Amino acid sequence: MYCSVLIFREITGIPDEDLSDAEAYNFIEIATRRMIRDLTVRVEEEVYVDSDFNFYTTYYPIADRDGDREVTTSDIEVYGEYKGVRTSLNVTSIIPETGKVSLESFDTSAYSKVIAIYNYRTFEYDWRLIEVACAYLAGYLFACKHYLLLPDTIALGTTRYRYATKPFEHYLNLYYDTLRKIRSIPISKETEDMIKLIREGMEEYEI
């Protein structure tokens, strides 16, 4: 998950009297899934013809897509295909920064192409900001559930009061403000240059 229940409460100020830890965790889980969609670009089917046991994804760095804050072999799916029939291939390792994917040995003649499904990112991750954004988004989900049916105005006698901002809008605006800050952090030029060297075959270099 992209933030803890403790951080969620610190950021949003929502006490356990209003929301149990278990409920908060559920909102954080949903918020994390949504954030993955907002932070990454999904590649549905990238095709490699005549691929061997190692290949480079077209787009990189490969991003976390299961919400565990790490990029591992579980964050990419690879299939061998022949005449429309797909077989899952075992990914033994990946190097997220360069997009290098290594597969367990298989009969390359058995497939006409190899297909990869993965997510990639276009900016550096600042996990402190991501935690804050996740807390705001989880707060928005909580507020939607509890306050969405609030009327736009409340009447006290002859006086009517209108909400300047509804609770759920407040959290959502904070989420998008933080998301813009996250997206504004570019991948460093030095890192980009080193990755290009590695992808061109100079694998003795490491990031």
* Residue-wise DSSP of 86-117: EEE--EEEEETTTTEEEE----GGG-SEEEEE
204 or 102: which leads in pLDDT: 102
| C-alpha to C-alpha distances, 78 to 75, 122, 162, nearest whole angstrom | 10, 22, 54
Pairing label, strands 113-120, 54-56: unpaired
CA distance 207 to 190: 10
Say whether 36 sits in a helix, a strand or coil: helix
Which of 149-163, 169-183, 190-204 shows the highest mean pLDDT? 169-183
Q: Report the pLDDT averaged over residues 31-59.
A: 92
Going across the sheet that includes 76-82, the strands are: 41-48, 113-120, 76-82, 85-88
Q: Report the pLDDT averaged over residues 60-85.
A: 95
Confidence of residue 99 (pLDDT cuts 50, 70, 90): very high
pTM of the model: 0.83
Confidence of residue 162 (pLDDT cuts 50, 70, 90): low
Whether pLDDT at 27 is above 70:
yes
Written as six digits, the tokens of 158 are 């002859």
136 or 50: which leads in pLDDT: 136
Q: Does residue 120 contact residue 61 with C-beta atoms inside 8 Å? A: yes
